[in-house]
Structures are given as structure tokens and as C-alpha cells.
């Protein structure tokens, strides 16, 4: 039996969450075209008779955190560095390789690392080869994988490459577990994903979600959640004219939550204003950061 932690690192929007979901064959991490969508470390647990692989999606690495929230996100990255058996260094083939290389070098990894070149469906073979050659030359690199996490990933081939780096040992989690996080966490994330999809400008970055109630009843699950924002104007935008925006968010989130938990859901959303919550240590703790 092999068991180990395979932790994914990279810049914002490299595709870390998409890779985790593809490897798990299930949507655990929310995905958005906007940067800094992932705020927590999210573990996906893949167990067979031969191995247990714990994949971790981590927040995108920020050079200069601006808020206490950003600092908490970078602490999640640091924690993932400390318990990794293997690091997956994810890089968008179209981004600046020198900058990505500097970030990977600055991680000062103490474990083997594979560079995963993502989004190869968006460029040509020549550029992919150049990227592979560039990263193979780096000291931290123990191998290179070129993939498209969004358009097709062979889980079997990927695991065949990573498994030699994983130590032998008993599993860390029960075989039925797919994550160490509670269902309430994923419910909150699915609601937050809809804010990223439907709200504009700074609102997604200044909003968070608190699930206040999660009750399983005979015919459905009742969920009550608060959407926290910075300012009254943001609250009005999220509610929308005659409640149109909050209804859109709620309807879209409910469908995804029902698909995730496999049950009918009654979802009630409230929007609350908590000024400067991203820089408030007590609020951050209350909201799960």
C-alpha cells in the first residue's frame, strides 16, 4: 500500500482547481476565470486497494499579500509545503516561464517536484516543447508532464507517473472519504462560485459565504447561508432590482448543490454588510479562514 500527499502549487489561474477536479473525477474545488478564486487548501482523497493519494489544491501564490485574508491564503500554501510527499508545480504554458520559475525556486522545496505544463490545448507543439525543455533544466524539477486539465486528462496515466514518488504506508483516511472537509464547506464554496460567475468587478473578491444552517429533512435539505460583503452598495448589487440577482445566484447554486449532495435542496440566502472583514482577524476566524 502506498499513501502520500501530492500538493499542487502555482500562480493564480494556472488551473490548480481544474486539475484537482479532473484527478478526482468530481468537482471539489470551485472554478472561475477570475484570479484568486481558491482561498483554502482543499484536499481530494483518492483511494484504491493499492494506494491512497491525497491531492491538495492550494491558493494561487501571491507575491505581496494586501490583506489579512491574503496572508491566511499564503499560510495554507506554507502548510501544504510542509506535509507534501510530492509537489506538482503547475504552470500555464502561456504565462511567463521565468516568473513561474522564480516562484517555484522561492518555494525552497524539500521534496521531489514534477512540473505540470497546463493548457496545452491553447498553443502549438513547438511552444510546448520549449516549455518542457526550459523546466527540465531547473534543479527542483524531477520530471515534466504536459496536460490540458480542462479538456481531457488521463487519470490513469497521471497516477502512473506520480506513484513512484509516493512512500509505502497505511492510509491516512477512511476509504470512503473523498475530502477531509465537511459538506457545509463545499455548499458555501458553490454559492461563492456563483457570485464569481454573476457579479462583476470587485464584488467576488470582497464577498464570502457563511452557511448558518444545514438541516437534513425527510424530503430535502434546508440550507440557510449569509453572503458577507464590505459595503452597502455591494449588498444592493447582489440583491438586485426586486431581488433579481440574489434569485439568480440562489437558483444556480441550488442546482449545483443538489448535484453535489444528491438530494433536493431548499436554499435561503441573505446578504450582510461587514466592513473590512478581509482585514479583521476575528471575522476571518469566524468565516473559516
Query: Residue 194: which CATH number?
Result: 3.30.300.20
43 — pLDDT class (breaks 50, 70, 90): very high
Residue where a domain terminates, one of 117, 138, 165: 165
pLDDT value at position 2? Answer: 97
The domain spanning residue 104 has which CATH number? 3.40.50.300
Q: Is the pLDDT of residue 64 over 90?
A: no
Mean pLDDT of 270-278: 97
Q: Report yes or no on 149 lying in a domain.
A: yes
pLDDT score for 202: 87
Distance CA 288, CA 122 (A): 36
Q: Which pTM value belongs to this model?
A: 0.92
Which of the listed residues 117, 133, 165 is the one where a domain comes to its end? 165
Same domain, residue pair 159 and 190: no
Q: Judge whether 2 and 51 are in contact, CB under 8 Å.
A: yes
Is residue 34 scored above 90 in pLDDT?
Answer: no
Mean pLDDT, residues 188-212 taken together:
95
Q: Which residues of 260-275 are buried (b: 16+ CB within 10 A; e: fewer)?
A: bbeeebebebebeebe
- Ramachandran category for residue 116: left, alpha or beta (phi over 0 → left; psi -120 to 50 → alpha): beta
- Average pLDDT in the 208-228 region? 96
State residue 205's pLDDT score.
Answer: 93
Q: What is the pLDDT of residues 99-125, one digit of tens each?
A: 999 999 999 999 999 999 999 999 999
Same domain, 43 and 99: yes
Say whether pLDDT at 92 is over 90. yes
Q: How many domains does one find in the chain?
A: 2
Cα separation, 259 vs 243, in Å, equals 25
Domain end among 104, 137, 165: 165
User: pLDDT band at residue 29, thresholds of 50, 70 and 90?
Assistant: very high
> What is the distance between the alpha carbons of residues 72 and 36, in angstroms, rounded to a whole number?
13
Q: Indicate if 154 and 225 belong to the same structural domain.
A: no
User: Would you give the end-to-end CA distance of the chain in angstroms?
Assistant: 34
Task: Please give the average per-residue pLDDT across 186-204, as a whole number.
Answer: 94
User: Does the pLDDT at position 200 exceed 90?
Assistant: no
Residue 7: inside a domain: yes
**174 inside domain:** no
Per-residue pLDDT averaged across 180-196, rounded?
Answer: 96
Same domain, 190 and 149: no
**120 or 200, which is more confident:** 120
State whether 94 and 190 are in the same domain.
no
What pLDDT score does 83 carry? 93
Residues 156, 188, single domain; the answer is no
Same domain for 30 and 108, yes or no, is yes
Do 141 and 275 sit in the same domain of this protein?
no
Range of the domain at 98: 2-165
Beta bridge partners of residue 3, listed in sequence order? 52
Average pLDDT in the 130-137 region? Answer: 97
Predicted pLDDT at 175: 85
Amino acid at each position: 500500500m502506498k499513501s502520500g500527499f501530492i500538493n499542487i502549487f502555482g500562480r493564480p489561474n494556472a488551473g490548480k482547481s481544474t486539475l484537482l477536479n479532473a484527478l478526482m473525477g468530481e468537482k471539489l474545488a470551485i472554478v472561475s476565470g477570475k484570479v484568486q478564486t481558491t482561498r483554502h487548501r482543499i484536499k481530494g482523497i483518492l483511494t484504491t486497494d493499492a494506494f491512497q493519494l491525497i491531492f491538495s489544491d492550494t491558493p494561487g501564490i501571491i507575491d505581496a499579500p494586501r490583506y489579512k485574508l491574503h496572508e491566511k491564503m499564503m499560510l495554507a500554501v506554507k502548510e501544504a509545503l510542509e506535509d507534501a510527499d510530492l509537489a506538482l508545480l503547475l504552470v500555464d504554458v502561456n504565462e511567463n516561464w521565468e516568473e513561474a520559475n522564480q516562484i517555484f525556486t522561492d518555494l525552497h522545496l524539500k521534496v521531489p517536484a514534477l512540473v505540470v505544463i497546463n493548457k496545452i490545448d491553447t498553443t502549438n507543439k513547438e511552444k510546448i516543447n520549449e516549455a518542457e525543455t526550459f523546466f527540465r533544466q531547473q534543479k527542483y524539477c524531477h520530471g515534466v508532464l504536459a496536460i490540458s486539465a480542462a479538456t481531457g486528462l488521463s487519470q490513469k496515466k497521471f497516477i502512473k507517473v506520480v506513484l513512484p514518488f509516493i512512500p509505502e504506508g497505511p492510509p491516512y483516511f477512511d476509504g470512503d472519504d473523498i475530502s477531509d472537509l465537511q459538506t457545509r464547506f463545499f455548499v458555501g464554496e458553490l454559492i461563492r462560485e456563483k457570485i464569481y460567475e454573476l457579479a462583476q468587478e470587485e464584488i467576488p473578491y470582497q464577498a464570502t459565504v457563511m452557511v448558518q444552517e444545514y438541516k437534513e429533512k425527510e424530503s430535502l435539505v434546508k440550507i440557510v447561508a449569509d453572503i458577507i460583503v464590505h459595503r452597502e452598495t455591494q449588498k444592493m448589487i447582489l440583491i438586485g432590482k426586486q431581488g433579481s440577482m440574489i434569485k439568480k445566484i440562489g437558483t444556480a447554486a441550488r442546482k449545483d448543490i443538489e448535484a453535489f449532495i444528491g438530494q433536493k435542496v431548499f436554499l435561503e440566502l441573505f446578504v450582510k454588510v461587514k466592513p473590512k472583514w478581509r482585514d479583521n482577524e476575528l471575522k476571518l476566524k469566524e468565516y473559516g479562514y
